[in-house]
A and B are shown apart, each in its own frame.
Chain A
Amino acid sequence: MSVWRQPSRDPLWREEFPVHTEDERYVTRRQFAKFLTLTSLGMAVGNGWILVRSWIRRPSAYPSVSVARIGEVAVGGVKLFTYPTPNDPCILVRTAEDAYVAYSQVCTHLSCAVYFSAKTRRLECPCHNGSFSVADGSVIAGPPPRPLPKVVLERRGADLVATGMESA
């Protein structure tokens, strides 16, 4: 199959429905240029659309759910709850008199449930000895590849309200 061909004298229907596979697969320079142009245009428009979407702020899709009352959990104590859906277990830890943190309870390694160890002051996973910082959910040791997603807490009167999730 040659790279360059002379313009054909065959009727158009014969060119468009060729019998020989090499003719069917032959791509003219004009077709190739058209493909490149349209594909590049599509990529540019797609990238622009992604950029514009990132500019448009969307309201949070997370619900506001009361997870505990102030004082319900003792200092160093925990409370388990689910957020944002009933299938997402989370853990609330009262780390100091006036400090509460909450994380997803699902280990980022193989989805075992993490627990709070008051002795080491870490969130630990019993399956493969992964441990996370209770301060920010970051991985301290073990196989987990990512920090624990953090539950955003807000104090509304006497209630602690979960308002969103943050993935580091």
Chain B
Amino acid sequence: MFGREFYIDPSRCIGCKSCMSACEECETHRGKSMINFDFIDRPERIATAAYVCFHCEDPTCAEVCPADAIKRGLDGIVQSALESRCIGCSNCVLACPFGIPKMQVAEEQMMKCDMCYDRSSTGKKPMCATVCPSQALTYVKPETIRRERREQPTNVFYFGNQRVTTKVFMMVPEDAGAVSVDVVDYMWEGRP
């Protein structure tokens, strides 16, 4: 929107959780962060990754919703489940390949990152991109990313045979064209 795109670069994340605090300030879900924050291989490393909803072009969460509650707008933003329709079944939570949707048990409603729709739809940056000190989460024009980053953005992901294209970009090494996640390998608990 407004010529800017969202870019996620986990290699820049310093684990400060500023994005989570900023997200919690939102009026529509005050006190609840919609940022997905992970420690990567926590026993061995200090690496962290904060990421937002990738806003898929064909969102799996919406495809599996039995209540027709999740919609993707013309601007490509996949919104939280409509309050009047969501039945709290958690199908979307289970289906999303990125693990984004969050079930709010008290409200019986799924909520997720909507890229601070109140802000981004009027040309402002989402809260997380505004506060991220290392710009692991950034919301800038594509030419800015090309000029300032060594990594290249991609919005194509493979989860096994499922090809997912998204609105949000992930920064990957220069020689990588797409991000491929071996789901079965990831699920394998007997990894060394």
Contact residues in A for B71 (Cβ distance below 8 Å): 19-21, 24
Contact residues in A for B74 (Cβ distance below 8 Å): 1, 20-22
Interface contacts (Cβ under 8 Å), in number, total 19
Contact residues in B for A19 (Cβ distance below 8 Å): 58-59, 62-63, 70-72
Across the interface, A17 reaches (CB within 8 A) one of B59, B68, B72, namely B68
**How would you classify the secondary structure of chain B's contact residues: helix, strand, loop or mixed?**
loop
A102 to B73, CA, bound (A): 66
Residue of A with least CB distance to B77: A21
Contact residues in A for B63 (Cβ distance below 8 Å): 19
A8 nearest CB across to chain B (Å) = 15
Q: Which of A19, A20, A24: most chain B Cβ within 10 A?
A: A19
Residue of B with least CB distance to A17: B68
Q: Which of B58, B63, B70, B72: most chain A Cβ within 10 A?
A: B72
Contact residues in A for B62 (Cβ distance below 8 Å): 19
Residue of B with least CB distance to A1: B74
Tell me how many residues of A have a C-beta within 8 Å of chain B: 7
A96 to B63, CA, bound (A): 85
Contact residues in B for A20 (Cβ distance below 8 Å): 71-74
Contact residues in B for A22 (Cβ distance below 8 Å): 74
A17 to B64, CA, bound (A): 11
A19 to B73, CA, bound (A): 9
Contact residues in B for A24 (Cβ distance below 8 Å): 71
Contact residues in B for A1 (Cβ distance below 8 Å): 74
Contact residues in A for B68 (Cβ distance below 8 Å): 17
Query: Which residues 40-69 in B have Cβ within 8 Å of A in the complex?
Result: 58-59, 62-63, 68
A21 to B58, CA, bound (A): 12
Residue of A with least CB distance to B59: A19
A143 nearest CB across to chain B (Å) = 47
Residue of A with least CB distance to B73: A21
B-contact 0/1 string along A1-39, CB 8 Å cutoff: 100000000000000010111101000000000000000
A32 nearest CB across to chain B (Å) = 20
Q: Which of B59, B63, B68, B71: most chain A Cβ within 10 A?
A: B71
Chain A residues with CB under 8 Å of chain B are 1, 17, 19-22, 24
Can you spell out 19 A-B residue pairs with CB atoms less than 8 angstroms apart?
A: A1-B74, A17-B68, A19-B58, A19-B59, A19-B62, A19-B63, A19-B70, A19-B71, A19-B72, A20-B71, A20-B72, A20-B73, A20-B74, A21-B71, A21-B72, A21-B73, A21-B74, A22-B74, A24-B71
10 new A-B contacts at CB < 8 Å, known A21-B72, A24-B71? A1-B74, A17-B68, A19-B62, A19-B63, A19-B71, A19-B72, A20-B71, A20-B72, A20-B73, A21-B74
